[in-house]
Amino acid sequence: MSGTALIAGVSGIVGNNLARHLVATGFTVHGLARRPPTDIDGVAPVAADLLDPESLRAALAELRPAYVFITTWLRQETEAENIRVNAAMVRNLLDAVRPAGSVRHVALVTGLKHYLGPFEAYGKGMLPATPFREEQGRLDIENFYYAQEDEVFAAAERQKFGWSVHRPHTIIGYALGNAMNMGVTLAAYATLCRETGRPFRFPGSAAQWSGLTDMTDARLLARHLTWAATTPEARNEAFNVVNGDVFRWSWMWGRLAAWFGLEAAPFDGEPNPLESQMAGAGPLWAEIADRHGLIEPDLARVASAWHTDADLGRPIEVVTDMSKSRRLGFLDYQATDDAFFDLFARLRAARVIP
């Protein structure tokens, strides 16, 4: 495969892994972010703000991407603000690449909040039956994912490109300073527990502890994005994207504990949120980082406890159907426990955790 790709959000979990995959498969890759990383071999950094249309147009004026991947968003205080800001980011980006007339495909990464609702109403009220399937309609509630989709659909109509929408479950992957990062957050939490002797407690709900769930490895998502962008049968379709296995946290928690040399604390049936458990742990993390020579002493750039609490605190079982992708030929699979272990090993090798 080959072609010129532009990744918006290259510094995040999805963008970082996608960039590496595209380079490895022969693409010319431009990575856009306000502060794009410079450590991904083969990726040309593009420094631009998606909320500044003039500077964005200037930064992209010389580029002619055939494939545009939108893998970023900005969290706001309310869903109304989420809609205003994140729709504008998509609109500004697609307006900026329009003059080149080169775009053949735009891929948008959203997630299961398409079915669950936004954070303000996360997993509440009337919800579609699980497993979630792509043909299930939108909820009758404001949701910035829907606004992002509508911007892509409108631009596709104007500019005559194909599109795909990708709905992963919680993503496991390497990135620091990311707003939604369960794997790195749990690694930081386990490190704090090991260093202090605190019990390694499951922070979430009884429904999550006992119910079936699934997750998405960022590497698998990168392959899925590339497949959809280059497969004619996947044009103008929305897809769920998960690893292909299911598990219960009552099984997974002990496996994560064992990787860090910990005993998993018994679950008492009550949520024990990480935001509470990790509150005030910043100075301790800085001390651990200094003692072990870690690269990031700021716990806030390593852990996103609020997001992990939102996922693990849901009062319902959440599983996702992948049949649509399978029928069209995407057959990749990733064991979720191995996805965690691979991430933890990478974090240790990069001196993010001791």
Per-residue pLDDT for 102 more than 90? yes
Catalytic residue among 113, 115, 174, 189: 113
> What pLDDT score was predicted for residue 37?
87
Band of residue 123 on the pLDDT scale cut at 50, 70, 90? low
Mean pLDDT for the chain? 94
Closest CA to 224 of 150, 163, 161, 168: 168
CA distances from residue 86 to 115, 185, 200, 304, 334 in whole angstroms, order as listed: 18, 24, 36, 20, 30
Closest CA to 179 of 300, 57, 343, 295: 300
Q: What angle do CA 89, 94, 97 make, to 5 degrees?
A: 125
| Secondary structure (3-state) at 247 | strand
Tell me the pLDDT tens digit for each residue of 268-286: 999 999 999 999 999 999 9
> What pLDDT score was predicted for residue 124?
57
> What pLDDT score was predicted for residue 315?
85
Q: Which domains does the chain have, with CATH numbers?
A: 3-168 (3.40.50.720), 176-214+246-317+333-350 (no CATH)
Render 53-107 in DSSP notation, one character per residue. HHHHHHHHTT---SEEEE------SSHHHHHHHHHHHHHHHHHHHGGGT---EEE
CA distances from residue 354 to 94, 189, 280 in whole angstroms, order as listed: 42, 12, 20
Amino acid at 294: L
Tell me the pLDDT tens digit for each residue of 32-81: 999 998 889 999 999 999 999 999 999 999 999 999 999 999 989 999 99
> What pLDDT score was predicted for residue 223?
98
Tell me the pLDDT tens digit for each residue of 128-180: 788 999 999 899 889 999 999 999 999 999 999 999 999 999 999 988 776 67
Active site residue 67: no
CA distances from residue 256 to 64, 176, 212, 269 in whole angstroms, order as listed: 44, 20, 17, 19
> What pLDDT score was predicted for residue 117?
85
Band of residue 125 on the pLDDT scale cut at 50, 70, 90? low
The answer to whether 76 and 116 are in contact (CB under 8 A) is: no
> What pLDDT score was predicted for residue 316?
85
Catalytic residue among 145, 146, 174, 189: 145
Tell me the pLDDT tens digit for each residue of 292-331: 999 999 999 999 998 899 899 988 889 999 999 999 999 9
Q: Which residues lie closer than 8 Å to 331 by C-beta, 6 or more apart? A: none
> What pLDDT score was predicted for residue 74?
92
The answer to whether 238 and 165 are in contact (CB under 8 A) is: yes
> What pLDDT score was predicted for residue 176?
76
- C-alpha to C-alpha distance for 233 and 348, rounded to whole angstroms: 40
| Secondary structure (3-state) at 352 | coil
H and E: helices and strands count for the chain = 15, 11
Active site residue 113: yes
Share of the chain above pLDDT 70, in %: 97
> What pLDDT score was predicted for residue 326?
98
